[in-house]
Amino acid sequence: MHRSAPGGGARLSLPLRGGLLLLTLGLVLALLPRQVVGRAGPGLYRGHLDQQRPLAEDVAARVNAKADVVFYHTGFSRFDGQSAVAIYQMTLLGLGQVALEHPELRAKFLPVMRVAARRLAEPSTLAYAAHVYGQHGVSYMAPGAGHAYLGYINLGLGMLRRLEPDMALAPLHDRLSEQLATRLFSSETGLIETYPGETWPPDVAAVAGSIGLHALATGGPRAAQVAAKLKQWEARFARCAIDKSGYLVQRTVSHSCQPADAPRGSGTAVASYFLSFGAPELSKRLFSALEREGQRSLFGFGGVAEYASGFSGPGDGNAGPILFGVSVGATGFAIGAARANQAPEFYLELYRTAALFGIPTDTHDTRSFAVGGALGNALLLAMLTARPAEAL
Amino acid sequence: MTETGPVAPQVAVAAEPSARGASAWTGPGRVLFVGLVCVPVELGLAHGLASGDPIEALMRGQLAGLAALGLLLAVRLFLVLIWPSWLSYRLLTLALLSWRARHSPSR
């Protein structure tokens, strides 16, 4: 039955050892990792101060420590600019959501939110937009030019406005919201271009969310009119950009509903989060598609498939690395969609995955995801602290 | 199997205290030691990367940053997924061997 081991002990037979190995591997993987990884998840979902605050402190410190408006200098102006816009926007959304959840933190985070808003609205942050359009949309939007990248900027400004209605950038916020709404509500497809010749439905979702958040932050009788127009827009947008799988098409041919890319999980998830600010029913619809079409679970860890069934591809910067069909982008953005749409189980599974690969690391009174850098930590703060529409 | 067969001397060795100690070291003890070494490595790398920006290293193709990131992820996955299974397997194997030694017909 057993034979001598080199160390002088006894050994079990090979089939028995193989069986034991499989048994322990199965049992341990099924029971242990979910208990030791992502233990902060339940507290984060419930919005506990001691879980949200250290993450917010880290993101605030990164923005405060940055002297330059751009975070990365890779030599690719589009990436450098867009990543800076994403960092400032997500910083504003994340800190704003934390401040809405814990009003006692407003005074602490408002100064850094003002800094982020100023840099977000600075044309040099996204010099690429001025390069392709001839002028940055913050300065001037020519009639007919889409400038949907402004949805990210306007959404960030909207969160600061929500906390500080008389903020210094209020006139710019009003003008951008008005000009974007004019473009969005007059579009037959429900879509507008991000850059000349490029139409990205997830960016359009950011524009719609920003218009909704502006109405929420400013209130008044105009808010009801905006809500009604957003409702009409939802139908056109859904008809044009939502695939039969329920996933959002990542890119379309400009001025048409013809797909230029596959229905993708990263775009669907981030659009679901953005739409929670202005079109919660459409947000829910996209989130349901993520649950139905994209949700993957193993041993208590969750992920979201990048491509809808029947589609495949190499992904891109929005998706990030793709492993077994599950992308980092879709999984990360789905955390925000899950909290905004009140899905605790899905949220916890996704958070465990984020914690497994992101590696939360405590330093004094801050906590950051070691692998995330400035971009990943700002994104995760916004996603982990997303709020349902009725709590905005 | 008989008392004079090949099994009996091995059982005696396995049941002998000093041999059990050696087995524990070459089995679960060694696995435990590997884990104890990996934990500070993970902590050190995580704190090092958290104070910088791994995405910048990734985008710029900085080899040291990429190596640290790769090593951290490898150690993290090993500690969370592989190491507990390996330790459990070794403990279970040791327990089974001890049980066999005690209940062997040769005793």
**Per-residue pLDDT tens digits for A211-261:** 999 999 998 888 899 999 999 999 999 999 999 999 999 999 999 999 999
**Per-residue pLDDT averaged across B83-92, rounded?**
93
- A2/B51 CB distance under 8 A: no
More confident residue, A306 or A315: A306
Mind telling me how many Å the CA of A183 is from chain B's nearest CA? 35
Report the pLDDT value the prediction gives residue A2, as an integer from 0 to 100: 45
Q: Partners of B101 in the beta sheet?
A: none
pTM of the model: 0.90
In angstroms, what CA-CA distances link A158 with A114, A138, A143? Answer: 12, 15, 23
CA distance A54 to A44: 11
Residue A5 has pLDDT above 80, yes or no: no
Which tokens belong to A381? 């703060």
- In whole angstroms, give the CA distance from residue A82 to residue A137: 14
For the segment A99-110, the average pLDDT, to the nearest whole number, is 97
In the predicted model, what is the mean pLDDT of chain A?
94
Q: How far is B65 from chain A (nearest CA, A)?
A: 11
Mutate to test the interface with A, among B26, B56, B90, B99 (most CBs of A within 10 A): B56
Q: Is the pLDDT of residue A158 over 60?
A: yes
Report whether A334 contacts A269 (CB < 8 A). Answer: yes
Amino acid at A35: Q
Residue B14 has pLDDT above 60, yes or no: no
Give the pLDDT score at B23.
55
B71 class by beta-carbon count within 10 Å (0-12 exposed, 13-18 middle, 19+ buried): middle
As a whole number, mean pLDDT of residues A343-359 equals 97
Q: Six-digit token pair at A17? A: 């050892």
pLDDT at A287: 98
Q: What secondary structure letter does DSSP report for A225?
A: H
Q: How far apart are CA A381 and CA A336, in angstroms?
A: 9
Q: Is the pLDDT of residue B15 over 70?
A: no
pLDDT at site B52: 87
Q: Give the integer Cα–Cα distance in Å for A111 and A88.
A: 13
Question: Could you give the angle at the alpha carbon of A163 between the alpha carbons of A88 and A168, nearest 5°?
Answer: 70
Higher pLDDT, A4 or A226: A226
Identity of the residue in B13, B50, B80 whose CB atom sits nearest the CB atom of A9: B13
Does residue B8 carry a pLDDT above 60?
no
Render pLDDT for A132-143 as a digit per residue (tens, 0 to 9). 999 899 999 998
Task: Judge whether residue A60 has pLDDT over 60.
Answer: yes
- For chain B, give the mean pLDDT: 79
Vertex A10 angle, CA A6 and A11, to 5°: 90
Q: Could you give the CA distance from residue A348 to residue A335 in angstroms, rounded to a whole number?
A: 8
Q: Report how far residue A267's alpha carbon sits from residue A220's, in angstroms, rounded to the nearest whole number.
A: 32
Q: Rounded to whole angstroms, what are the CA distances from A295 to A31, A214, A252, A349?
A: 20, 32, 24, 10
Q: Do A363 and B47 touch (CB under 8 A)?
A: yes
Q: Give the rounded percent of residues in chain A with a pLDDT score beyond 90.
A: 89
Between residues B53 and A113, which one has the greater pLDDT?
Answer: A113
Summarize pLDDT for A279-294 with one digit per residue, the tens: 999 999 999 999 999 9
CA distance A327 to A119: 30
Residue A204: per-residue pLDDT: 98
**Which residue among B80, B92, B97 places its CB closest to the CB of A356?**
B80
pLDDT at position B4: 37
Residue B100, pLDDT score: 87
Question: Using the beta-carbon criterion (under 8 Å), do B13 and A371 form an inter-chain contact?
Answer: no
Shortest Cα–Cα distance, A241 to chain B (Å) = 31
pLDDT of residue A50: 96
The string of pLDDT tens digits covering residues B41-63 is: 999 999 999 988 898 888 888 88
Chain A residues within 8 A (CB-CB) of chain B?
1-5, 7-12, 17, 20-21, 23-25, 27-29, 32-33, 36-37, 71-72, 74, 79, 356-357, 359, 361, 363, 368-376
Mean pLDDT of A145-173: 97
Contacts A364 to B, Cβ<8 Å: none
Q: How far apart are CA A363 and CA A367, in angstroms?
A: 6
**8 Å CB contact between A351 and A28:** no
What's residue A370's pLDDT? 96
Is the pLDDT at B1 greater than 80, yes or no? no
Residue with tokens 């969310």: A209
The CA radius of gyration of chain A, in Å to the nearest whole number, is: 22
Per-residue pLDDT reduced to its tens digit, B19-31: 444 455 567 889 9
User: What is the mean pLDDT of the segment spanning A157-168?
Assistant: 97
Read off the pLDDT of each residue in A334-358 and give the average, rounded to a whole number.
98
- C-beta atoms of A4 and B10 within 8 A: yes
How is residue A199 annotated by DSSP? Answer: B
SS3 A263: strand
The stretch B65-73 carries a mean pLDDT of 93
pLDDT at B2 over 90: no
